[in-house]
Structure 1
Amino acid sequence: MLSILKYLKPYKLQVSLIIVLTLIGTLLELYLPTLMADVVDIGIVNNDIPYILRTGLWMLVCAIFAIGLTVLVNFFASRVAMGFGKDVRRKLFVNVENFSLQEFEKIGPASLITRSTNDVKQIQDVLNMMLRMMTRAPLMLLGGIILAVSRDQTLSLIFIVALPVLALTIYLISRKAIPLFGELQKKTDRLNLLLRESLIGTRVVRAFNRVEFEKKRFNQANEEFRDTGIRVNKIISFLFPSMMIIMNFTNIAIVWFGAIRIDAGAMQVGNLMAFLQYSMMILMSLIMLSFAFIMIPRAQASAKRVNEVLLIDPDIKDPEQAKAETGAHAEVEFKNVTFRYAGAEKAAVEDISFLAKPGETTAIIGSTGAGKTSLVQLIPRFYDIESGSILVNGIDIREMKQHTLREKIGYVPQKASLFSGTIAENVRFGAKDATDQEVMDALQTAQAIDFVNEKEDGINTYIEQAGSNLSGGQKQRLAIARALVRKPEIYIFDDSFSALDYKTDAKLRSALKEETGNSTIILVAQRVNTVMDADRIIVLNEGKLAGIGTHEELLKDNTIYQEIVESQRTEGESA
């Protein structure tokens, strides 16, 4: 918890102001019972009306000032807590954006969402409470005890019994509740995961008639979350009644023994009234502290989860001395590259070497699971290789800044990812300063212009989240247009034509040849007709290089390529 409070540093002036205002306000509140005692013991006893009016007016002024200061403290505490939450969320987001895919997958998107929202909110709420209570409660507790003892030392002995009983009650309840808070956050993770999976995969769920199964799965997680929440609240619900019982018995004892002392002439009525007020302040401050102690463990569980993300040091970093790379075109070379995913026994790609030249198309083909996508994801450094090297214009990509490297690349992923916004905004994701004409040209090359023009608002048509109002082929073509508008030196198409029909596929590849010019094209595909015109075809088999050559060369002497061609041969289609 303390480590995450370092993000309070920009607000240290406001925190200092809160402490000062709280101190003044608490002293004013502590002063009020003394004034009241004077009104009774001096004004009423001596029937001194002017003194009563003067002291009463002074009490009113002190009360108004105390209220005003409390309002200011609450205002500043809320601002600090909200600003702190904003800063932590921003830091979380920035840190996650720097993760490699391996680190991102390790925690999981559902848990990252929970940590960035629910967990930060828990910390933010506790911070707000701490700023308002954690300064006020100790001051009131200490001041109340000192002033109560100063009023009557003998009567103060009641606190020797009351305070330990109260502290023990808080301890026992906290001990039961604290472990459940961490469990509750994990249940929240599970709920978010199931909800996210169900919403994203709603078409699959309905297509396979698994709605009832998903309902049961979600209901089970939901009930577990509910049961844990009820257990926590049941335990905490004992806190307030227990404290009220202790407080009331303490007040009874004070009145009882105070009356005895007044009857014996050892105490005045005003002092007893002030003593009662101070005892209430002492006990209320303990209640405030108890709520803080109950809430802090939950915030600690959340802070631990947030810190886990903040303290992850991304594996993929920019070099301290990046090598400068110049040139209008980019040559990509793999030299004995081996890569395996974290925890995997077998390498995803092993000992791969090839050269992709500017102005040429290098195609990668192979069966499912051969390592095609894993191979091309190494070029933008989504993952770092285990051994070997990947060179761009003769420079190892690990010696280049990630920003510089990725500026050279137009990447179209296997699954087209679109964002909520207009078609133009999605295409401009590749080049934010692209003009409307450049957007239209990219759409024309990507064979997307026809369906865009059919839309009522054209390029200003709104796309729903993840492109849910578009077909698979339309999403792929917009993803291709996004890469084209960037005009990069290296194009990576990761099975980006799989949702297109053969005619559109052929037209798109023809248009790409004219558009890409001297850029290096690396094309991953499943279909032979997509790769057969490539300048070189790389055949992968179980992560290893099984052959390199043109379509004709591979068809002549590469068994694996021959099998792929044969498996795709249909009536009326010739390899």
Structure 2
Amino acid sequence: MVKRLLKSVREFKKDALLTPFFVVLEVVMEVIIPLIMALLIDKGIDGQDMAAIWKYGIILVLCAMLALVFGAAAGTFAARASTGFARNLRHDMYYNVQNFSFSNIDKFSTGSIVTRLTTDVTNVQNAFQMCTRIAVRCPVMLVFALFMAMKINSRMALVFLAVLPILAIGMGILMKVVGPVFERAFKIYDRMNTVVQENVRGIRVVKTYVREDHETEKFEGVSGMLYRTFSKAQKTMAGVMPLMQFCMYACMLLISWFGARLIVGGSMTTGELTSMFSYAMQILMSLMMVAMVFVMITMAKASAERVAEILDEQPDLHNPANPIHEVKDGAIEFDDVSFSYKGDERKLALKNVNLHIKAGQTVGILGGTGSAKSTLVQLIPRLYDTTHGTVKVGGVDVRDYDIEALRDQVAMVLQKNVLFSGTIKENLRWGDENASDEELERVCRLAQADEFIQQMPDKYDTHIEQGGSNVSGGQKQRLCIARALLKKPKILILDDSTSAVDTKTDALIRKAFAEEIPDTTKIIIAQRVSSVQDADQIVILDGGTVQAVGTHDELLAANTIYQEIYNQQNRKGGEE
């Protein structure tokens, strides 16, 4: 996992390597300073030698200045390396998510992906910076300071070795207890992000049903759970600090007691005792910083595993070795196609589907809720792969095409129409980024969208809010149809995408399709019989199987499901 994450360091490798180099130089200067202080006290002050005071005083200032310069350099390189690492990590994660197929995306919630790209990456970034700086500084400082302390008085230095087992036990307990708590906390973060996103995205529904109190209660529940989880972790971590403080003050007291006896006995100078205190502080502070590093690494470990899950997730759909880049025409064939979202043959969404659609035909698909109408059309641009059987476009198995080339020739207007923040022009040019203003207006006239656009204050430069919240459902559907037409596709799929427009507008859109794009294969999923009754073929789906295929007249004469739908809608229309 660590090796996988470190691949994202890339161009910041030099900064990451220079950081510990300057940290070691900084530590060397800091370890020399107490030694110079001891010489200053013993030879200069106690010896009343002004020349020695100047000499060691200047050396002391130089060491302090060098320590400052090396520390600043280490901090600069560490900051540059860690922020660059985090940037690359987010870049790699985001690009991998873009390559996910629908089945990959189904494994992660939106809230979880957002948490991993933000909170988890920040935790990994902090741990990386700590590992390149503090995790290097502490052991080096510990070894150097302990060496100097033993050089001054080896017996007194044994005091530090006595507290090491106590601290090691404390750190072991900390990691064992706190690690699982942080793993739970980040899963709760996912849930909290999901709750917030759902609430903000569906705020109109929340206010319509006056459910603000319910949503607030739901958020407070998740937030409270997160608070309790982190409180438990913080309490455990706080319990380690008294242990650290006890070890520190115990060492200081023992050094004071032994030092006083040695000075009285004449086997230690005042300067040596002073430097011993400095080395004691360096050693004990290093031990405390090691504890902080362990806490950060424990927290970051859970985040790193979650980040690695995104990076290691491999797209289920791949281009073949020698992909075909040209789609001949819009002919579509389903040959004995069965499909399951989870690959479980006992839970098939589609069963033994056989369909043959000629290029340029208009095909309607009718069926009840859950009859797998959307599932069927999602196999055409290879958003999913079939579990059994083959789907062919232009006489070629879709798995033999370059995925981008295939999807570029299949335009889909989904049930959930999505518009992005930006102008109407910018949204339309998702279909063709090089389209002229005249082309934009032409496809909007085909989709019956030009009329309402012209009535807007800024016309085609009108700003669309995120999700298209400032346009109606019918307007959003027509803009999405226009965007799809701009691709000039060989296959156009409308997945119940005229449900929010009136029957007159629906008829005008279908008429425009027939006249303007006769060579494009048009597949219309609809709830209204009137939307598909003029189609070349109408497919009746029920429970994931094809119940019947035929024209309006053929199905009305022979198919009970179609008769029931037709009679229900006509009776309703007659009553109205």
The verdict on a shared fold, with TM-score over 0.5 as the criterion, is yes
Corresponding residue for 1:256? Answer: 257
Give, in angstroms, the shift of residue 80 of structure 1.
Answer: 1.1
Corresponding residue for 1:335? Answer: 335
Corresponding residue for 2:433? Answer: 432
In structure 2, the residue corresponding to 1:161 is in which secondary structure? helix
Determine if the alignment matches structure 1 residue 293 to structure 2 residue 289: no
Equivalences for residues 220-369 of structure 1 within 5 A: 220-327=221-328, 329-342=329-342, 345-369=346-370
Give, in angstroms, the shift of residue 571 of structure 1.
Answer: 5.9
Residue 556 of structure 2 aligns to which amino acid in structure 1? Answer: L
Give, in angstroms, the shift of residue 5 of structure 1.
Answer: 2.4
Give, in angstroms, the shift of residue 539 of structure 1.
Answer: 1.2
Unaligned runs of 5+ in 2: none
Corresponding residue for 2:189? Answer: 188
Give, in angstroms, the shift of residue 330 of structure 1.
Answer: 2.4
TM-superposition CA deviations, 1:253-311 (whole Å, max 9, x none):
11111110111111111111111111111111111111010110111101111112221
TM-superposition CA deviations, 1:212-236 (whole Å, max 9, x none):
2222222111111111111112222
Corresponding residue for 1:470? Answer: 471
Give, in angstroms, the shift of residue 490 of structure 1.
Answer: 1.0
Corresponding residue for 2:68? Answer: 67
Q: Distance in 2 between matches of 1:453 and 1:573?
A: 35
Corresponding residue for 2:204? Answer: 203
TM-superposition CA deviations, 1:81-100 (whole Å, max 9, x none):
11111111111112112222
Corresponding residue for 2:137? Answer: 136
Greater displacement, 80-89 / 158-167 = 158-167
Q: Distance in 1 between matches of 2:24 and 2:574?
A: 86
In structure 2, the residue corresponding to 1:560 is in which secondary structure? helix
In structure 2, the residue corresponding to 1:487 is in which secondary structure? coil
Instruction: Decide whether the 8 Å contact of 1:412 with 1:494 is kept in 2.
Output: yes
Corresponding residue for 2:51? Answer: 50
Q: Distance in 1 between matches of 2:454 and 2:80?
A: 48
Aligned length: 573
The 1:571/1:30 distance shift into structure 2, 3 A limit, reads closer
Instruction: Decide whether the 8 Å contact of 1:325 with 1:395 is kept in 2.
Output: no
Greater displacement, 207-216 / 537-546 = 207-216
Greater displacement, 91-100 / 409-418 = 91-100
Instruction: Decide whether the 8 Å contact of 1:428 with 1:482 is kept in 2.
Output: yes
Q: Distance in 2 between matches of 1:572 and 1:218?
A: 44
Corresponding residue for 1:490? Answer: 491
Residue 167 of structure 1 aligns to which amino acid in structure 2? Answer: A
Residue 115 of structure 2 aligns to which amino acid in structure 1? Answer: T
Instruction: Decide whether the 8 Å contact of 1:540 with 1:547 is kept in 2.
Output: yes
Q: Distance in 1 between matches of 2:504 and 2:110?
A: 38
TM-superposition CA deviations, 1:147-167 (whole Å, max 9, x none):
110111111121122332333
Equivalences for residues 146-225 of structure 1 within 5 A: 146-225=147-226
Q: Distance in 2 between matches of 1:239 and 1:566?
A: 75
Corresponding residue for 1:15? Answer: 16
In structure 2, the residue corresponding to 1:82 is in which secondary structure? helix
Greater displacement, 465-474 / 565-574 = 565-574
Provide the TM-score with structure 2 as the length reference. Answer: 0.96
Instruction: Decide whether the 8 Å contact of 2:38 with 2:274 is kept in 1.
Output: yes
Q: Distance in 1 between matches of 2:572 and 2:183?
A: 61
Q: Distance in 1 between matches of 2:289 and 2:432?
A: 55
Residue 332 of structure 1 aligns to which amino acid in structure 2? Answer: I
Instruction: Decide whether the 8 Å contact of 2:390 with 2:397 is kept in 1.
Output: yes
Corresponding residue for 1:535? Answer: 536
Q: Distance in 1 between matches of 2:176 and 2:393?
A: 59
Q: Distance in 1 between matches of 2:288 and 2:412?
A: 58
Q: Distance in 2 between matches of 1:253 and 1:224?
A: 45
Q: Distance in 2 between matches of 1:544 and 1:376?
A: 14
The 1:172/1:541 distance shift into structure 2, 3 A limit, reads closer
Greater displacement, 171-180 / 476-485 = 171-180
Instruction: Decide whether the 8 Å contact of 2:364 with 2:537 is kept in 1.
Output: yes
In structure 2, the residue corresponding to 1:316 is in which secondary structure? coil
The 1:324/1:148 distance shift into structure 2, 3 A limit, reads same
The 1:57/1:129 distance shift into structure 2, 3 A limit, reads same
Percent identity over the alignment? 39
Corresponding residue for 1:116? Answer: 117
TM-superposition CA deviations, 1:489-535 (whole Å, max 9, x none):
11111111101101111111111222223111111111100001111
In structure 1, the residue corresponding to 2:351 is in which secondary structure? strand
TM-superposition CA deviations, 1:29-75 (whole Å, max 9, x none):
11111111110111122211122112111211111121121112111
Give, in angstroms, the shift of residue 207 of structure 1.
Answer: 3.0
Give, in angstroms, the shift of residue 248 of structure 1.
Answer: 2.1
Give, in angstroms, the shift of residue 241 of structure 1.
Answer: 3.9
Q: Distance in 1 between matches of 2:15 and 2:518?
A: 59
Q: Distance in 2 between matches of 1:352 and 1:360?
A: 19
Corresponding residue for 1:522? Answer: 523
Q: Distance in 1 between matches of 2:376 and 2:551?
A: 20
TM-superposition CA deviations, 1:99-124 (whole Å, max 9, x none):
22122112211111111111111111
Q: Distance in 2 between matches of 1:571 and 1:111?
A: 45
Q: Distance in 1 between matches of 2:161 and 2:82?
A: 36
Q: Distance in 2 between matches of 1:513 and 1:412?
A: 17
Give, in angstroms, the shift of residue 484 of structure 1.
Answer: 0.9
TM-superposition CA deviations, 1:13-37 (whole Å, max 9, x none):
2122112111111111111111111
Corresponding residue for 1:552? Answer: 553
Q: Distance in 2 between matches of 1:171 and 1:262?
A: 38
Instruction: Decide whether the 8 Å contact of 1:446 with 1:478 is kept in 2.
Output: yes
Instruction: Decide whether the 8 Å contact of 1:325 with 1:393 is kept in 2.
Output: no
The 1:541/1:268 distance shift into structure 2, 3 A limit, reads same
Give, in angstroms, the shift of residue 324 of structure 1.
Answer: 4.6
Q: Distance in 1 between matches of 2:103 and 2:161?
A: 58
In structure 2, the residue corresponding to 1:358 is in which secondary structure? coil
Q: Distance in 2 between matches of 1:523 and 1:189?
A: 37
Provide the TM-score with structure 1 as the length reference. Answer: 0.96
Determine if the alignment matches structure 1 residue 85 to structure 2 residue 86: yes
Give, in angstroms, the shift of residue 172 of structure 1.
Answer: 3.0
Q: Distance in 2 between matches of 1:416 and 1:324?
A: 28
TM-superposition CA deviations, 1:404-435 (whole Å, max 9, x none):
11111111001101111111111111111112
Give, in angstroms, the shift of residue 573 of structure 1.
Answer: 5.5
Give, in angstroms, the shift of residue 171 of structure 1.
Answer: 3.0
Residue 240 of structure 2 aligns to which amino acid in structure 1? Answer: L
Residue 482 of structure 2 aligns to which amino acid in structure 1? Answer: A
**CA RMSD of the aligned region, Å?**
1.7
The 1:326/1:506 distance shift into structure 2, 3 A limit, reads closer
Corresponding residue for 2:106? Answer: 105
Give, in angstroms, the shift of residue 178 of structure 1.
Answer: 2.2
The 1:71/1:515 distance shift into structure 2, 3 A limit, reads farther
